[in-house]
Amino acid sequence: MKEKETQKKAVAIYIMGKKFFVPEGSTIMSALEYSGYQLKRGAGCREGFCGACATVYRLKGDYKLRTGLACQTVVEDEMLIAQIPFVPVVKPVYDVNRIEPTIAVFKNLYPEVFRCVACNTCTKACPQDINVMDYVNAVERGDIEKAAHVSFDCIRCGLCALRCPAEIAQFNVGILAQRLYGKYLAPGSSQLEQRVKEIKSGKFDDEMSCIKKKELAELKKMYYERDIEPGEKG
């Protein structure tokens, strides 16, 4: 590729069936905007972290319905595109302080999990390449720790839930597993506990009011002379 090669080829795409020509190499999101769409729904962080831009598409000569994030998927010639900016799911309400980290919670709140037919469609649909079925199965076995870790990179785009023949809302199941793990199952930190006690008992109050009153020159001196803790090994 030459440095000054900025003139791009155009490719044809179909936005909800209507044909547009957009620059080669565009993401689906920038192609929509290039075509004149002012996005309100279907655009969020634009970096693959928020799940706002779930999109389904088909490629030329291919029967498969594909899934992706509009901000992360590059257009291809003759691509057929529709965005799915909202996934209707019913979110059960719970008090995280009053539930226990057991399989019973899932049986109660998400009974459909146990009807998983192990078709793996959820995993295939996931634009994050998460092994979605793996964490659904972990929940079925009551392995909340595994479910929490495997589901962790989920961005809630909802594509798994839309494709699931067992009507599971996997992303909601995942967040419940994560909260139960984070609150009840992860090992505790005695250092944090100690520090919270110290702050609540006012241990740092005097020193804080003292440093707050320091003259600028003195504070600067403290700052530039402070020692730096060595980093990790290496």
Partner 1 sequence: MYPEYMQDSLKKVEASRPSRLRLSREKGREHIFPAMTAAQREEVLQKFHPDYKKIAKRPLRIGVNKGESITTEVADILEAYSRINPDVFDLNHPDMETDVLIVGGGSAACSAALLAEQEGVNVLLVTKLRLGDSNSIMAQGGIQAAVNPQDSPIRHYLDVMGGGHFDNKPELVEALSMDAPLVIDWLIELGVMFDRNPDGSLKTRHGGGTSRTRMLSCKDYSGSGILRVLRDEIECRKERIRVIDFSPVVELIMDTDGRVAGAILQNFETDEYFIVKSKAVILATGGMGRLHIQGFPTTNHYGATCDGVVLGYRAGARLIYMDSVQYHPTGAVFPEQILGFLVTEKVRGLGGQPVNKDGYLFVFPLEPRDVESSAFIRECVENHNGVKTPSGQQGIWLDSPIIEELEGVGTVERELPAMVRQFKRFNIDITKEPMLVYPTLHFQNGGLDVNARCETSVPGLYAAGEVQGGTHGRNRLMGNSQLEITVFGRRAGTFAAQYAKSLEKTSDLTLEHVRKYNREVEKIGIDPARVSPILLPDYIPNHVKERQLTSHYLGAIRG
Stretch that binds partner 1, among 10-18, 56-64, 90-98, 132-140 (CB under 8 A): 90-98
Tokens 């930190």 label which residue?
Answer: 189
Q: Which of 5, 16, 63, 88 binds partner 1 (CB under 8 A)?
A: 5
Candidates 158, 161, 154; CA nearest to 49 is 154
Asked if residue 156 binds partner 1 (CB under 8 A), the reply is yes
Enumerate residues 101-120 that contact partner 1 by CB under 8 A.
Answer: none
In this structure, what is the dihedral angle of CA atoms 65, 70, 74, 79, given to the nearest 10 degrees? 40
Asked if residue 77 binds partner 1 (CB under 8 A), the reply is no
Stretch that binds partner 1, among 58-66, 131-139, 145-153, 162-170 (CB under 8 A): 145-153
The answer to whether the beta carbons of residues 39 and 33 sit under 8 Å apart is yes
Q: Which of 91, 100, 167, 201 binds partner 1 (CB under 8 A)?
A: 91
Amino acid type, 11? V
| Alpha carbon separation from 175 to 79, 93, 154, 213, 215 (Å, rounded) | 33, 13, 9, 45, 48
Enumerate residues 24-53 that contact partner 1 by CB under 8 A.
Answer: 25-27, 30, 33-41, 43-50, 52
Helical axes 170-180 vs 132-140, angle rounded to 10°: 60
Q: Can you name the residues that pair with 27 across neighbouring β-strands?
A: 74
Stretch that binds partner 1, among 22-30, 110-118, 135-143, 157-165 (CB under 8 A): 22-30
Enumerate residues 170-229 that contact partner 1 by CB under 8 A.
Answer: 175-176, 178-183, 186-192, 194-196, 199-200, 204, 207-208, 211-212, 216, 219-220, 222-224, 226-229
Q: Which of 19, 59, 94, 118 binds partner 1 (CB under 8 A)?
A: 94
User: Whose Cβ is closer to partner 1: residue 63's or residue 210's?
Assistant: 210
N-term to C-term CA, the chain: 38
User: Whose Cβ is closer to partner 1: residue 119's or residue 218's?
Assistant: 218
Pairwise CA distance, residues 5 & 124, whole Å: 36
Candidates 117, 118, 122, 98; CA nearest to 108 is 98
Asked if residue 74 binds partner 1 (CB under 8 A), the reply is yes
Asked if residue 148 binds partner 1 (CB under 8 A), the reply is yes
Number of residues that bind partner 1 (CB under 8 A): 82
